[in-house]
Structure 1
């Protein structure tokens, strides 16, 4: 989609998995990151990855390191991508996690329709009545509030901004396989392996 860029969040600590980044974990014959980029690349104008150059330097897409090092959380990745014009200059920026290998092939078009029809700052997926904040589309006009949340409030999460900015929610229909399934533990990875082997 011409008016949407995307950033894959791959900068979080993955202590439960015992690796520096979940992005490079193998699922089937490829990495989690590759699963996500394959599903997402054709949906957006450009694609980048928020994470460490040290661990992700061989990725096929630009790596954006957090510009506000003392802050952590997904908001730092979104902010860093928004202020990096050589990576993202579209009006909207999508964020997705690197550990969501089953994300829908129509995620961007559905979120874009939702955010533009409501003229909202954020469109967030809601699945089984749970907000999936790391699967969300952000309008650039939210940048001052994002910066304020990071710098003034030392908050690296998305949730507070859902009430501060104008947010709209996309209720995703239930599917046999949860398209917003996140891999957080070895058991989750085993379950994902079983799903792709069906």
Structure 2
């Protein structure tokens, strides 16, 4: 834990939610991002938020707010790069990322990703759907500081899809079992809030 920092990816534009910060939408008596912070903070040595725009809207959390280091919303990999550069300056060896709209991810996310790390110390989370198909969740990953220059070069070359880059580096896959629901259920649209409220009752 002491060598790994956490980064909450909140840099998306939430177009299916009508814009704004999905992480600041209410869920129960808190907001989505409050649930994410509560789950990730105990698993890591330090925590930051990747978000663009006015950082003051996150002031109450008392966490560093990291904008994408590249313009024009190049996607989650830019948030990963922002986190890697921040964590490198703080003396960490790696980061684990979590999406701001996924409030029920595993409490052992960091441990599972660490066990599954590939030869370059990369790993992505995965879970199976009702049919048994295994799905990768690329915004939940373990990312070593040592690959940050490679990631920046790849982004500048136009790479946007996470798995293209992680496959190139032999990322391991950490499969997390369902506990009555997909632990990586995320809130993409307004109707997902109602589903999340039901899941919250059974946590």
What TM-score results when the alignment is normalised by the length of structure 1? 0.91
Structure 1 unaligned regions, length at least 5: none
In angstroms, what is the RMSD of aligned CA positions?
1.7
Give the match's secondary structure for 1:12: coil
Moved more, 12-21 or 36-45: 12-21
Measure how far apart 1:166 and its partner are: 2.0
Q: 1:170 aligns with which of 171, 174, 186?
A: 174
| Alignment match, 1:26 | 26
Contact kept in structure 2, 1:62 and 1:87, CA below 8 Å: no
Task: Work out which of the residue numbers 150, 163, 169 in structure 2 matches 1:145.
Answer: 150
Report the CA distance shift for 1:177/1:88 in structure 2 as closer, same or farther (over 3 A). farther
Alpha carbons 1:125, 1:170 under 8 Å: kept: yes
Which consecutive residues of structure 2, in runs of 5 or more, have no partner in the other structure?
129-133
Taking the aligned partners of 1:30 and 1:39, their CA distance within structure 2 comes to 13
Change (3 A) 1:114 1:64: same
Residue 56 (structure 1) shift: 2.6
| Kept after mapping to 1: 8 A contact 2:87/2:145 | no
1:81: which partner in 2? 83
Deviation at 1:151, TM superposition (A): 0.8
1-side partners of 2:11 and 2:89: how far apart? 17
CA gap 1:157/1:172 in 2 versus in 1, 3 angstroms: same
Kindly tell me the number of residue pairs found equivalent between the two proteins. 195
| Alignment correspondent of 1:44 | 44
Change in Cα spacing, 1:185 to 1:71, as seen in structure 2 (3 Å) is closer
Give the TM-score taking structure 2 as reference length: 0.89
Mapping 1:6-17, distance limit 5 Å: 6-17=6-17
Paired residue secondary structure (1:68): coil
Mapping 1:31-180, distance limit 5 Å: 31-52=31-52, 53-85=55-87, 88-115=90-117, 118-128=118-128, 129-153=134-158, 155-180=159-184
Contact kept, 8 Å, 2:126 with 2:137, in 1: the verdict is yes
1:48–1:87 contact (8 Å) kept in structure 2? no
Give the corresponding residue for 1:188.
192
User: What is the CA distance between 1:181 and its match in structure 2?
Assistant: 0.7
